Every structure is written in structure tokens, then in C-alpha cells.
Amino acid sequence: MQAKPALKFLLMPFYYRIEKFIKNASLEMNRKGKKVLEVGAGECPYKKYFTNATYFSNDENQNLQNSINYVCDFEKGIQELEDSSLDYIYSTQVLEHIKRPHKFYAECNRLLKKGGKLYLTTNFIYPIHMEPRDYFRFTHYGLKHLGDDSGFKVERISDHGGFFSTFVYMLVTTPNKLFFKENSKLALIYIVVFSP
């Protein structure tokens, strides 16, 4: 059972930060003549920010809207796309599910034009999810190494959270996971009362 969008943002406020990150990044990416690929697009929740650019999506499975352009394992490459054919690639909360992160970066590097950019988000301290396909957690140093090693110039890596938000997340969600059925009314009441 999927959490409703409002409940999802309440239970996991990092979704708000991810959405804000993509919205801000789209101010650069969403221009006529630019080609943008979302890797691990799922239901394409951020497509709405790309009304001027040519937007493409990739995922391993087709979604309910039948809006995934390239259904394939990104690590193995998108054979239909030529080298240096994209201006921007972005991916949210996918890197931790990639078995071979170097191959992910290599494919991004192959697809991006000279001067193209990769935007991504990933987890650091977060529970195991989408089992058994949850492989890694990355530090700043690991992300920089992957980027540098794959030929990228890493411009910026920034935290979304930190000790306090991690502590609060664990404080709020632990009793919920122990005592309440996921997405139940009691769980929602608990979150609403104790989150602030």
C-alpha cells in the first residue's frame, strides 16, 4: 500500500527537499532545445517541471501511465541513445539501488554532451528499503570518488538533513514501526501529534 502524497510528505519530509531540489535544478535544465533524462523515473513525478526541454524517462519497468521512454537496466546502457546526446541527466533516490555504481556513472558520462550535467540524490542514513535491491549508502567522499573516477567534475555535494533530522526521523518512526500497522489511522495520528 502506497502512502497518499500528503501523508508521504508528512511521514518523510525529505521528499519535500528532493522535490525542491529538482524544481530548483529545473530552472537551469528546462530550456528549449535541451534534452533531459530522468533515470529511475517511476511514475515521472518531476516531469511537470520540464515543459520547455525535451524530457525522456528511464526505468526497469513500464509505469501505469505507460510514460517510460526507455525501459531497461540503466547500468547496461540505453542502447537507443547515442553518445553525447543529452544535456542533463537527473536521478533521485536511485543510486543506492544500483549494483555497480561505476557503470551508472559511466553511462551518464557516455550520454552527456560536453558540458552536460548530472544531478542526483541518494540516501546516507536511511532504513533498508525495496529489498533485496538496496545495496549502498554513500558518503560525500564516496560520491566525489565515483564522480572523479568517471570523468566528472564534481561541482557540489550538499547534505539534506544531518544529525538532528536523522535523530528526529528515528524518534518519530521507531514507535510507529514497532506498534502500529503501516498507514493505519493510529499511525497517522501518532505522526501528526509527535512530528512537530
The pLDDT tens digits of the residues spanning 102-132 come to 999 999 999 999 999 999 999 887 778 889 9
68: Cβ contacts below 8 Å, ≥ 6 apart? 41, 44, 57, 58, 59, 61, 62
Q: Which segment of 36-50, 71-85, 157-171, 172-186 scores lowest on mean pLDDT? A: 172-186
For the question of whether the overall pTM of this predicted structure is more than 0.85, the answer is: no
Residue 76 has pLDDT above 80, yes or no: yes
